[in-house]
Amino acid sequence: MGQIGRAVTLAVGLAGGTLFSQAPEFAQQYRQRIGGAIDELKVIVDDFTKQAADHHLDRQQALDVYARSPDDFLRDRGLSMRSTLERYERLVTQQSDLGSTAPVARPFVLMRNADEGILANTWHDFVLGVPVSFPGLAWAAIGFIGGWIVAVLFGIGAKRAVQWRPGYR
């Protein structure tokens, strides 16, 4: 591999390291957003639970009242509330998973079951972080190695393509 190939390989490795080093910071910013979403949904869930209890119903019984209603609006409202309750439970579970996972592994939790809305908003407002933590440095190393491997494989493929060209010496 010539000097240009080494330089390109190093540049791609550094780019990969820089990109991957942001994974723990992205997970942290996602985690903060999920906490805010849970706080807001908790107000709605607690209000619904209190109103149901005021009428001697639990959540499921209150949802069943909505589902049995002859009024389309109330049936739709019940479906909306059911969706809100399910999302609240999913986010609480994910927050627990993120909290109980080592910081270096949190990006994998996001890859497994991120909330699409929160993920999109986190990406939209994402602010780069300097990877001075162990997880940031670990992900930077993973990205560097991955980028380096991609560059080497691309370089090998390019070299073979040039060598197989008719008339090449």
Confidence of residue 169 (pLDDT cuts 50, 70, 90): low
Report the percentage of the chain scoring pLDDT > 70: 93
CB count within 10 Å of CB 57 equals 15
pLDDT in tens, 26-63: 999 999 999 999 999 999 999 999 999 999 999 999 99
| Nearest-angstrom CA–CA distance, 41 and 89 | 10
| DSSP state letters, 47-60 | HHHHHHHHTT--HH
| Nearest-angstrom CA–CA distance, 131 and 18 | 9
Q: Taking the CA of residue 65 as centre, how many other CA atoms within 13 Å lie in the half-sphere pointing to its CB?
A: 11
Strands, E, within the chain: which ranges? Answer: none
pLDDT in tens, 85-115: 999 999 999 999 999 999 889 999 988 889 9
CB 59 within 8 A of CB 52: yes
Spans of all domains in the chain = 1-22+128-162, 33-127
| Nearest-angstrom CA–CA distance, 78 and 60 | 10
pTM as predicted: 0.69
Distance from the first to the final alpha carbon of the chain: 17
Structure tokens given for 4: 């240009």
| Nearest-angstrom CA–CA distance, 4 and 109 | 38
| Nearest-angstrom CA–CA distance, 107 and 119 | 12
Q: Is 114 exposed, middle or buried (0-12, 13-18, 19+ CB in 10 A)?
A: middle
| Nearest-angstrom CA–CA distance, 18 and 114 | 23
Structure tokens given for 113: 């079951």
